[in-house]
Amino acid sequence: MRFGKLVLLAAGLLGRLAPAAAQGYGRYVDPMIGSEGLGRVFVGPSCPFGLVKPGPDCTSSPNSGWLPMPAPVTGFAQVHVSGTGGGPKYGNVLLMPFSGPLDRLDQAAPRETERAALGYYGARLKPSGIQVDVTAAEKVSFYRFTYPAHQPRALKIDAGFFLGEEPEPDAREAQQFVGSEIEVVSPTEIRGYSRIRGGWNNGPAYTVYFAAVFDAPVASFVTWKGATLYPGQQEQPDSGEKTGALLRFADGGPDSVKVKVGISFLSAARARANVAAEVPGWDFGQVLGQLRARWEGLLGRIALDPATPPDQQKLFYTGLYHTLLMPVDRSGENPLWNGPQPYYDDFYAIWDTFRSSNPLITLLAPEREVAIVNALLNIYQHEGYLPDARSGNANGRTQGGSHAEVLIADAYAKGLPGIDYPQGLAAMLHDATVPPGGNEEKEGRGGLLDYRRLGYVPSGVVRAGNRTLDYAYDDYCIAVVAKGLGETATYEQYRRQAGNWQNLWRAGYRDHGATGFIMPRDAAGRWLDSIPYGTSNIQKPYFPYTPLTREYPWYVCHWCGFFYEATSWEYSLSVPHQVPALIARAGGPAAFRARLDTLFARKYYNVANEPSFLTPSLYHWLGRPDLSSQRIHQIIDKSFNTTHFGLPGNDDSGAMSSWLAFQLLGLYPNAGQSYYLLNAPLVRQSVLHQPGGRDFTITARNFSPANPYVVAARLNGKPFPQAWIEHRDLVRGGTLVLEMGPRPAAWGTKILPPDGGTL
Amino acid sequence: MRFGKLVLLAAGLLGRLAPAAAQGYGRYVDPMIGSEGLGRVFVGPSCPFGLVKPGPDCTSSPNSGWLPMPAPVTGFAQVHVSGTGGGPKYGNVLLMPFSGPLDRLDQAAPRETERAALGYYGARLKPSGIQVDVTAAEKVSFYRFTYPAHQPRALKIDAGFFLGEEPEPDAREAQQFVGSEIEVVSPTEIRGYSRIRGGWNNGPAYTVYFAAVFDAPVASFVTWKGATLYPGQQEQPDSGEKTGALLRFADGGPDSVKVKVGISFLSAARARANVAAEVPGWDFGQVLGQLRARWEGLLGRIALDPATPPDQQKLFYTGLYHTLLMPVDRSGENPLWNGPQPYYDDFYAIWDTFRSSNPLITLLAPEREVAIVNALLNIYQHEGYLPDARSGNANGRTQGGSHAEVLIADAYAKGLPGIDYPQGLAAMLHDATVPPGGNEEKEGRGGLLDYRRLGYVPSGVVRAGNRTLDYAYDDYCIAVVAKGLGETATYEQYRRQAGNWQNLWRAGYRDHGATGFIMPRDAAGRWLDSIPYGTSNIQKPYFPYTPLTREYPWYVCHWCGFFYEATSWEYSLSVPHQVPALIARAGGPAAFRARLDTLFARKYYNVANEPSFLTPSLYHWLGRPDLSSQRIHQIIDKSFNTTHFGLPGNDDSGAMSSWLAFQLLGLYPNAGQSYYLLNAPLVRQSVLHQPGGRDFTITARNFSPANPYVVAARLNGKPFPQAWIEHRDLVRGGTLVLEMGPRPAAWGTKILPPDGGTL
């Protein structure tokens, strides 16, 4: 009888507890796509740009926290980032349910099952059989722990946990513990914080405050400090040691205990107030439903043909989903300064996101992109430099350029309202004129004095190659805004500097049939075939450099190569603002065509690296959009899918995902400029719902695998022979009909895409 | 009867409450010396290097918080700095007792009486008649509020108050509000914090957490947020608004309410723990006594002849006292990183303190100077640059050089143990080689690239004059340590650079009889009689520059002149590391003597400015210590006294006071070098108690106003003909007898003080 009741109960519980599958567009979001392999996406629930990202943490090493089974789960931390490379960040305030006595800190447990859906993560732990269900509001994680009947209902709250701890005290990119605190405020509330520094951006200390409230009273508890347990001690004030609490809920209540964890970057009381403001009740389904409704409002702004195969829809909507996870909206949670302006953190990094993530946000949720750009300007105003990357409330890391410039120019070129563009220009010019000195890893432009003096960053300065290309691109963006604002002298100067990439173009250099490469050059103007390393007069090791060099000798520090994360074969094609000039320098259209073909045929192309994002589209400037589409479709077929391994590289805060989402629509932006390249879409029809009720519909007529080419197009009923379209045409609404056919035709062969060089 | 009892009670209370006068050396400390006029010293109680400095705040403008009567007192804040110029800092967590209803935020009241003594500040407010007595532990303020009998006992705690608020949101050097919080934890405890940014060093946000505990229960309370009162609302979570609480203690208790305010830079719970750790009881006298005992242990390390007139003793011991107020020992309270190393904050600025404050700490409390230097190195290790000034947990402001170099060299030259000097050298070299770029107001050396290229900082870079002199001095300090560590190449290079001041020495330039001045020079090497201002090609205003120029035209920004806070007449004599070379450049001993005489006669000398601290002693290098002593005695007679106006300039964290204390003993250091100049003391005898029980006694034999000159000396019984003495001679203990006489004699005329130029 008792046994029977148990079984019944368990079955009943499961039936009751399993969250309803997401409806609408949300059902096509699969948070597990890209979770394994290089993708490193965050798998737990999050609101769009949500401050909390609760999810499982499996060891201290994975950036997203999660590892596939059978790795045991250490617990569930409240703050994560998605898709990042380099060292980890966050992983703060860890919860872990268990059923044993309150006698040890390690409560890690393997999973029996797990399931993730939009706004939901669930796992059943073993051997305890505890079911964990998680969802989230903006600043509040919502947990439901369902314990097997008649088992002790216990919970660990660890204020000292974080991702990426290393034994070496100040290891580069490792997070470092600073302090933590915990207080049992009442039988149903625990407050505390975790203060951590370092991590990927080598940032200063940030503090994650929390307030955890329960729907069941705590009957007994043990707090800890370091390795010592303190039964019944309510408060562990910060003494620079790790602290936390083991709780046992009173027996006799329902089997599930619900826990709301408010998070704040200001204070624990603020965290508690966030709980009260966002999640006053205890209905798991309601919180999940609200989260899904928020997503639905955004995902639904682009409606794919309902007949699109589910896997295509999954690729697309999961792509949108990943793109909208970061940066994180921390408005009202800025511990650095006060004011009504939006505050966003976790720009991770703009070097990764400017190409397609931010343009996709602009297209999907322009009000968010406006807020993001204003947040950047607000940071500039208070701290002196725009971030290129930022996390934990601090600028840190510049991979190449100062690419906030691209976001400002992109916003300007696309006419986003509500941004102080003169201030934007001032901020960009600060990057372009004030050397960051000893802070060049943090912000600004390293090697700026040389770049200004020589027109390129000379060998000897780390990442001289991509810095030169990136600065030239950023300078183009400055020229865009300066021209628009009528700042003629500035416009002229930066338009000239936009061509600085040519100063590292080694014209006669040949490699595998291609001529002309971005190559190392010293300050005296000499081209280098071997790079001297270091400044020692006694020992001066040289190492050879070729356009295919990707790995450097052991004595060259990480981040100290000629290019960041790429070869010269890849980066020499990364001049998105002056493609026609690039084609000319590379020997003209025929040579350039051959070079692109070689790149793809010999697998020199790296789909996983952002500087190559535009590369498959470069055929457009040769009048061959058919070849662009062909390459893009090949790349997608080969490198993207709906499995856990569905992303070919670090998602980088949605960068990879946004590239995919754009290409599925047949659109691809060239950031800092106002147009999109058009390609053969992978979906028959898409509707872009624009603010004000205006729709823009893209229809591929005669869409079928047998008709892979766009042969003609009509925009709002009129012939549209060009393979690119202006942003303003999309946002004013209308129809674009792409006629598909079995063979390439004249479409896109005559009116080539704009040349930023003619700015 | 009732009236009679009241009178009796009041009299009894006053008798019981008035703190015992300080005994021992502490009775010669008068915190009011230098409180009015330019001195700006903090007048409230503080432990040596104490974290809390509770005291009265009269408006938002004075840097020390205090203003003389009849200015009304706004309240009593817990954190202050002492003697600073520029914009204010701190003034956080304000308490104010009152007797009215809990219906308004402004409870400012004038004082009827006030009294300050070592470790104690007291004031009677009017018309309420409330007596406020304050003392302090390291991290805990201790208040006793004595209310007239049968009056409501009320208290305001303002978590939003701070010094230096300005209506302009981001006014330079103004503190800016970020956030605040308050919580009524229990009838006897309130917690909260104040988060403020900006201030003198334009620093990022710092947070002052507090826990206030009472010996009487709160019967009713009102919290506020912004301008709105919330009766009985226990918690005001941070929402970016100013908050606080008005409390009414239960009637019927004793007339006095005691309040302990724990302060922490980590958390409110830590602040509460600081109360428990430091002040477990409620005995005002005991806390005061403990504070005084701490001071006694330090002040007593130098014992003056007990027959010294009280005013002389007051000047001396108050001088020591002011010197030991800052920097502030925040060990265990560092929110930025974790570790066992000492942590000090409020270096304000080392440009001010390296000359005499730090050397005095070295002499008086070498263990503190070791901790301070280690704290600097720890900051370098974690943040990349040594501070030149630091406050609110952030580097900020370089006035001229990177003078942490001098502290490290001074410690090295004087053999302070327990410092990692190789790390020190690395930190110094970072200053000297890595330009701070856009952060040059914060740390490092602005204009460094020019300085390294040209050997001087050219006109066009702000503060080119004193930067060149300061960098040369700092480079000398690098050479000192490099030589000692056997780093020959570094030593040779920085020894050469130590002479860089000569590159701005305009040799033929004459002014009021003196020849040769440090003058502006452009990057092309041209001497400038007029300085072009700004970089505009259209409008290029020039302004004339002479060795007496102190004020600049209105369009020259503050901090943008050729020298910081001085004329060329002053700064051209500020080459403490190469005095003989200076004398030679200035035309030889006779010309130099005449030049010094002119400086003093024409009042070009500025007693209140640190770059001139050594100037009256320069006669020593002419073999005329008698003239040095004469000048020094004249300066002290004219500019220092025991009144509120007793300091001639900003005390600058004890800089002025330490100059005075040294000179009273007849000693004066030359920071970065290992010796002290000897002068005619102003006290008959002093005993320097050294660690390990070794005493060094300085005795002026035949001490009288009729015998103002040292005519001979004996060190440990042996003739000592030189007017300078090595640090090692002091610390090994012994006796120095100075024979005083009516006329100068041969003493000090032959063996001149060391020449840093021969390093």
Q: In this predicted model, what pLDDT tens digit does every residue of B365-401 receive, in sequence order?
A: 999 999 999 999 999 999 999 999 999 999 999 999 9
pLDDT value at residue B14: 41
Q: Is residue A693 part of a domain?
A: no
pLDDT value at residue A8: 38
Alpha-carbon gap, residue A731 to B534, rounded angstroms: 45
Q: What are phi and psi of B174, to 5 degrees?
A: -85, 140
pLDDT value at residue A15: 40
The letter for the amino acid at A282 is W
Minimal Cβ distance to A237: which of B240, B272, B435: B272
CATH number of the domain at A665, please: 1.20.1610.10
| A685-690 and B709-715 beta bridge pairing | unpaired
pLDDT value at residue B2: 39
pLDDT value at residue B18: 59
pLDDT-above-70 percentage for chain B: 96
Nearest C-alpha neighbor of A428 from the set A521, A501, A357, A490: A490
Q: Residue A1 pLDDT > 90, yes or no? A: no
Q: Are residues B306 and B294 in the same domain?
A: no
- Helices assigned H by DSSP within B508-624: 568-571, 579-585, 589-601
Q: Residue A220 pLDDT > 70, yes or no? A: yes
Nearest C-alpha neighbor of B27 from the set B319, B318, B306: B318
Q: Is residue A342 part of a domain?
A: no
Q: Residue A539 pLDDT > 70, yes or no? A: no
Average pLDDT, chain A: 94
Q: Are residues A426 and A280 in the same domain?
A: no
Q: Which residue has the higher pLDDT, B501 or B531?
A: B501
Alpha-carbon gap, residue A6 to A9, rounded angstroms: 5
The tokens for A700 are 């591929």
Q: Is residue B219 part of a domain?
A: yes
Q: In this predicted model, what pLDDT tens digit does every residue of B629-664 receive, in sequence order?
A: 999 999 999 999 999 999 999 999 999 999 999 999
Q: In this predicted model, what pLDDT tens digit does every residue of A577-589 receive, in sequence order?
A: 999 999 999 999 9
Q: Is residue B407 part of a domain?
A: yes
pLDDT value at residue B306: 95
Q: Is residue A322 part of a domain?
A: no
pLDDT value at residue B169: 74
Alpha-carbon gap, residue B406 to B356, rounded angstroms: 11
Look at chain B and report how many structural domains it folds into: 2
Within its chain, how far is the Cα of A529 from the centroid? 36
The domain boundary residue, chosen from B298, B320, B352: B298
Q: Are residues B361 and B380 in the same domain?
A: yes
Of A254-258, A281-285, B414-418, where does mean pLDDT reach its minimum?
A254-258
Confidence band of A2 (pLDDT split at 50, 70, 90): very low
Q: Are residues A461 and A557 in the same domain?
A: yes
Minimal Cβ distance to A269: which of B181, B332, B384: B181
pLDDT value at residue A759: 86
pLDDT value at residue B535: 57
Minimal Cβ distance to A435: which of B177, B264, B438: B438
pLDDT value at residue B551: 80
Q: Is residue B721 part of a domain?
A: no
Q: Are residues B289 and B424 in the same domain?
A: no
Q: How far is A178 from chain B (nearest CA, A)?
A: 5
Give contacts of B535 with chain A, Cβ < 8 Å.
none
Q: Are residues A642 and A567 in the same domain?
A: yes
Nearest-Cα residue of chain B relative to residue A203: B383
CATH number of the domain at B171, please: 2.70.98.10
Angstrom CA distances, B321 to A720, B50, B118, B326, B389, stand at: 84, 12, 9, 10, 21
Minimal Cβ distance to B237: which of A237, A269, A430: A269
> What is the mean pLDDT of the segment spanning A423-436?
97
Q: Residue A508 pLDDT > 90, yes or no? A: yes
Domain limits for position B22: 2-298
The domain boundary residue, chosen from A627, A642, A675: A675
Q: In this predicted model, what pLDDT tens digit does every residue of B198-251 receive, in sequence order?
A: 999 999 999 999 999 999 999 999 999 999 999 999 999 999 999 999 999 999
pLDDT value at residue A537: 53
Confidence band of B560 (pLDDT split at 50, 70, 90): confident
pLDDT value at residue B16: 46
Q: In this predicted model, what pLDDT tens digit does every residue of A101-158 receive, in sequence order?
A: 999 999 999 999 999 999 999 999 999 999 999 999 999 999 999 999 999 999 999 9
Q: Are residues A445 and A525 in the same domain?
A: yes
Q: How far is A50 from chain B (nearest CA, A)?
A: 19
Give chain B's length: 759
> What is the mean pLDDT of the segment spanning A45-74?
94
Q: In this predicted model, what pLDDT tens digit does every residue of A295-343 receive, in sequence order?
A: 999 999 999 999 999 999 999 999 999 999 999 999 999 999 999 999 9
Alpha-carbon gap, residue B595 to A386, rounded angstroms: 51
Q: Are residues A265 and A383 in the same domain?
A: no
Q: Residue A193 pLDDT > 50, yes or no? A: yes
Q: Is residue B642 part of a domain?
A: yes
How would you class A241 by CB atoms within 10 Å of its CB: exposed for 0-12, middle for 13-18, buried for 19 or more?
Answer: middle
Q: Report the phi/psi class of residue B90: left, alpha or beta, with left for phi > 0 and alpha for psi in -120 to 50.
A: left
Beta bridge partners of A184: A190
The domain boundary residue, chosen from A264, A298, A332: A298
Determine whether the interchain pair B336/A235 forms a contact, defined as Cβ–Cβ distance below 8 Å.
Answer: no
Q: In this predicted model, what pLDDT tens digit does every residue of B2-57 receive, in sequence order?
A: 333 433 344 334 444 556 688 899 999 999 999 999 999 999 999 999 999 999 99
Q: Are residues B264 and B381 in the same domain?
A: no
Q: Is residue B465 part of a domain?
A: yes
Q: How far is A145 from chain B (nearest CA, A)?
A: 29
Interchain CB contacts (distance < 8 Å): A and B: 134
Query: B86 and B106 in contact (C-beta within 8 Å)?
Result: no
Give contacts of A430 with chain B, Cβ < 8 Å.
438
Q: Residue A548 pLDDT > 60, yes or no? A: yes
Which residues in A537-549 are b (16+ Cβ under 10 Å) and which e? eeeeeeeebebeb
Give chain A's length: 759
Place of tokens 């209140």: B608
Task: Tell whether ipTM is more than 0.85.
Answer: yes
Q: Are residues B274 and B342 in the same domain?
A: no
Nearest C-alpha neighbor of B138 from the set B327, B330, B399, B417: B330
Substitution target from B236, B330, B439 for chain A, most A beta carbons within 10 A: B439
> What is the mean pLDDT of the segment spanning A482-496?
98
The tokens for B334 are 């560092």
Place of tokens 């919580």: B183
**What does the DSSP assignment read for B454-513?**
HSSPPBTBTTHHHHHHHHHHHHHHHHHHHHHTT-HHHHHHHHHHTTGGGGGEEEEEEETT
Determine whether the interchain pair A338/B435 forms a contact, defined as Cβ–Cβ distance below 8 Å.
Answer: no
Q: Are residues B664 and B590 in the same domain?
A: yes
Q: Residue B196 pLDDT > 90, yes or no? A: yes
Minimal Cβ distance to B435: which of A336, A381, A435: A435
Give contacts of B264 with chain A, Cβ < 8 Å.
238
Q: Are residues B157 and B282 in the same domain?
A: yes
Nearest C-alpha neighbor of A703 from the set A684, A681, A718, A678: A684
The tokens for B119 are 């470790």
